[in-house]
Homo-oligomer: A and B are copies of this chain.
Amino acid sequence: MDTHISMISDVSPFRQLVAKLRRLAPIDEADEAAVLALPHRVGRARARDYLIREGSKPHECCALIDGYAARSKLGVNGGRQIVSFHIPGDILDIQHLFLERADHNVQVISDATLVWVPMAAMRALATQRPTIGTAFWRDALIDASIFREWVLNVGRRDAKTRIAHMLCEFIVRRAAAGLGTAEQTQLPFSQEEIGDATGLTSVHVNRMLRELAEAGLIVRKGRSLEIVDWDGFRRAAGFDAAYLHLAA
């Protein structure tokens, strides 16, 4: 993983993060200035690189600028369970502001760009700028809500619905971050990753995706996926976005 000190540029590495915080709480210009003034470095990672490993003690906090990431845990038999996906603007380890040791892995699932900020600076920001503290709180609580929905997804829905639900969530979150509508979005997941996120095997994921394609809901183009019938897809998933708490 290549890392270098960021140069002065016309686009701040905190642009996506500020946009996200603004969606979570009414941050003002002083808040924004405080974020932009954070000490930091910009790093790059290649698909499959680990950003945080279970059991380590992170002393920097990272946020995604570009690309996608996933949190995962390993089962006894070596099976990986992905517990969430992340998009640009997401803070990937807000939990280490208050917990010492990582209880799961964070990996990028595509080539990605990240900002790293010393944990202490991030913690100071949260306390000295109460509105930012509130945004952090809301972010962490929404993450928890998403985990709860995943327990339901994996525990109670059948394979096809489960896959569709997970994809719906990803698309809606991307759209809420202004990163493209359902029909425009190319989903960046391998079938293996979809399986690891839904508790299914990649073989079965493949079969279910074929059925979804045969039903005219999605189109598979080589390695990537597109939704062609968003309403139908959403209905097939039984998706209700309330748990994402998008309205502030």
Q: What copy number does this chain have within its complex?
A: 2
Assess whether B148 is in contact with A73, with CB atoms less than 8 Å apart: yes
- Tell me if A150 counts as interface (CB < 8 A to partner B): yes
Q: How far is the CB of A172 from chain B (nearest CB, A)?
A: 14
In the bound complex, residues from chain B placing their C-beta under 8 Å from that of A55 are 242
Assess whether A150 is in contact with B151, with CB atoms less than 8 Å apart: yes
In the bound complex, residues from chain B placing their C-beta under 8 Å from that of A149 are 73, 103
Query: Would you call the interface of chain A mostly helix, strand, loop, or mixed?
Result: helix
- Tell me if A143 counts as interface (CB < 8 A to partner B): yes
Please provide the chain A residues from 173 to 189 with a CB less than 8 Å away from any CB of chain B in the complex: none
Q: What total of chain A residues lie within 8 Å of the partner, measured CB to CB?
A: 45
- Tell me if A137 counts as interface (CB < 8 A to partner B): yes
Assess whether B151 is in contact with A154, with CB atoms less than 8 Å apart: yes
Nearest B residue to A139, CB-CB:
B98
- Tell me if A142 counts as interface (CB < 8 A to partner B): yes
Q: Which of B81, B97, B98, B243 contacts A152 (CB 8 A)?
A: B81
Assess whether B155 is in contact with A98, with CB atoms less than 8 Å apart: no
Residues of chain A touching chain B, judged by Cβ–Cβ distance below 8 Å, are 55, 71, 73, 75-77, 79, 81, 83, 95, 97-101, 103-104, 127, 130, 134, 137-138, 140-145, 147-152, 154-157, 161, 198-199, 238, 242-243, 245
